[in-house]
Amino acid sequence: MFLLLKVFGRKISIVYYHGVCQYPNPRTVGDYSKDLETSLIVDFLSRCTNLELLELPEHIVFGDVDNQLPMIEALNRHPSDEIRLEFQYMKERSSVHPAGFQSMSLSRVVCCSWGDECPGEEMKAWLAQGLNIEKISRYDYDAQPDDNWMDHTYSGLTSIEFWKGNHRSLQSTVDFLQRHPLLKRIELKPGHIHDNTPWGFAFAKRMHPYSCKIFHPDQFMVVVKVDNEWLYEKIVVTFQDDIPHGGVGIVEAMIQKLGTMVSQSPDGWLGIDFLSPVGEYMTSKDLIGILTRNLSRLGVVEICLGKFLRDILTRECAQILGPGSAIDEEEDEEFIAGLVHFRLMSLIHCRRTPKQKITPKSLSLVNDSEATIDLIVANDTTTPHLQYERSP
């Protein structure tokens, strides 16, 4: 095993390697000297006066006072206010916090992730001493209604993942967000109830007068803070309103409002469906036009569409495929099924149902000036899927 230092300007990352080009398993790292390792880290902190970040390998878990006390002392002596010592993980070692950390500031210590059920006495002491926690992972812990982890303040918190939080009141959630101004991203577990949250209220207000249900039994959703407003990065919406037959304009108004509640993120994911049977009268031209006009500002967003997409393409199937499943090049000016400004690039995975109806399973459409559209009509057990990616 040997040690590699990755230097990025004023940032240093310590990495251990086993053999040639092999990263170590942090659970099996044992053939090293803790004393030598501690001396090396202390030496970096003492000599590199312009250093801003020293990133430690995963096997060095914050909480081992015997070896980390000299590190924290050297860290607090460092002349730069920007210096941070970054641990990947942390672990409480005892029910009573060690005297070694009791009188020391931990405001320059950063732990990338914390995932215990609730802070113990040791953790509470560290938080009071200024320990920074970047990410909190809830996993299965939010099932208990007496969970009180949100009653504490976590300096430096930027993201939460696997959060459900249905037992929390609106006010307790608001109070938590106000105590954590750096919090920018929250991943919400399937089953999260959005109605009783700041982002749920903001969504309902922005979508008025339309009624929406935000829910998917298996899909994680994500909210992000943009200019002090919580928007959705990943969301599944079903419009509940009874839309009159032929109400394409109403559908567009709904999508237009929805687009204002989705963040401009390369990881954007948007699921859309309607209780009303809009697929019985909407055309593919209507659909592509609505998505292009109202969602193009998002840049890159993956869109999963409900049953209405397959209703549209099934109805237009014969027109799309034409005689003998061939495309008439002479009709290129009119394009396919009214998809004005879009050129059919490929048609794959066609199949016949038991009733001999031809169903296209995948269409790739290209708008030469704006975007690439992939329409995938899924089988009876999966969700139709459309991906919109704007060209640079």
Q: How far is CA 345 from the centre of its chain?
A: 31
In a domain, 79, yes or no: yes
pLDDT at 131: 96
Q: pTM of the entire structure? A: 0.78
In a domain, 13, yes or no: yes
User: Which segments of the chain have a pLDDT < 50?
Assistant: 1, 22, 96, 323-392
**Beta pairing partners, 166:** none
Which residues, 6 or more positions from 299, have their beta carbon under 8 angstroms from its beta carbon?
A: 264, 266, 268, 390
- Rounded CA-CA distance 238/254 in Å is 11
pLDDT at 230: 95
In a domain, 122, yes or no: yes
Domain count, the chain: 1
Q: Identify whether the C-beta of residue 202 lies closer than 8 Å to the C-beta of residue 227.
A: no
The domain containing residue 116 runs over which residues?
A: 1-133
Q: How far is CA 18 from the centre of its chain?
A: 33
- Rounded CA-CA distance 200/192 in Å is 11
pLDDT tens across 317-357, in order? 756 555 444 334 444 333 333 333 332 222 223 333 333 33
pLDDT at 4: 63
Cis peptide before 209 (omega within 30 of 0): yes
In a domain, 126, yes or no: yes
Residue 279 is encoded by which pair of tokens? 């697929």
pLDDT tens across 84-122, in order? 999 999 887 655 455 667 789 999 999 999 988 788 888
- Rounded CA-CA distance 306/383 in Å is 6
In a domain, 203, yes or no: no
In a domain, 4, yes or no: yes
Q: Identify whether the C-beta of residue 83 lies closer than 8 Å to the C-beta of residue 108.
A: yes
In which residue are the tokens 């990133």 written? 55
In a domain, 261, yes or no: no
In a domain, 73, yes or no: yes
